[in-house]
Amino acid sequence: MKTINKFAMLAVLSISLFSCSKDDTDDSTSDNDRDGLTNSMELKLGTNPNVADTDGDGILDGTEDFNKNGIIDAGETNPLLKDTDGDRVKDGTEDFNRNGILDEGETDPLNMDSDGDGINDGDEDSDNDGLTNSTESDSDTSPYDNDTDHDGINDGDEDSDHDGVTNSEEQHNGTNSGDTDSDDDGINDGDEDSDGDGFPDGDGNNDNDDNDGE
């Protein structure tokens, strides 16, 4: 009889905990992840009520759904997509202060070619540091500041993922400056030999871009 009572108590406790959890998620006034959207609005929108930045673009879900109505309206970035306009630059990189407003000096996360010059925003180098905006997005540096961390080193000369290859070299090699193993082959980008000169990309002698042996 005691055993049955224990199981009965556990069952009741489990149901109670589940109910509390469900109520927390369904509660129209609760905001579990404190992103500015109520749980019910997140469920309507399709975002995760327990993750403040569902798509990982650097902007809070509640900032992307600017009027907080649970609908992706015109003029709002998509909290389910890192790159709403498809220009290969994360929304949170384009809206660098992440306030949900297009400010002076920022590219438009809703327009692939913000300045209308025929060049995709991802291919531009807005701060003239030798890195395209898409490369800066990968390395989490600012495309509007050529020395994002103000350490006296140009962003192009930084090594954001610490793989032994500078960001500008990664751009030249076609590797990801935010990923130590861009092609997921188990070999660190700095140990690859992308130009076939016999030296790993992370080696200072890796300068035979044209494979002429010189």
Q: pLDDT digits over 141-195, tens only?
A: 999 999 999 999 999 999 999 999 999 999 999 999 989 999 999 999 999 887 7
Band of the pLDDT at 214, cuts 50, 70, 90? very low
Residue 41 has pLDDT above 80, yes or no: yes
Give the pLDDT confidence score for residue 12 in this predicted structure. 47
Q: Is the dihedral of CA 40, 41, 47, 48 positive or negative?
A: negative
Band of the pLDDT at 4, cuts 50, 70, 90? very low
Give the pLDDT confidence score for residue 20 in this predicted structure. 45
Residue 96 has pLDDT above 50, yes or no: yes
User: How far is the C-alpha of 214 from the C-alpha of 211, rounded, in Å?
Assistant: 8
Give the pLDDT confidence score for residue 1 in this predicted structure. 42
Token digits for 62?
A: 């509640």
CA–CA distance from 52 to each of 32, 129, 209 (Å)? 9, 32, 44
Token digits for 89?
A: 């630059």
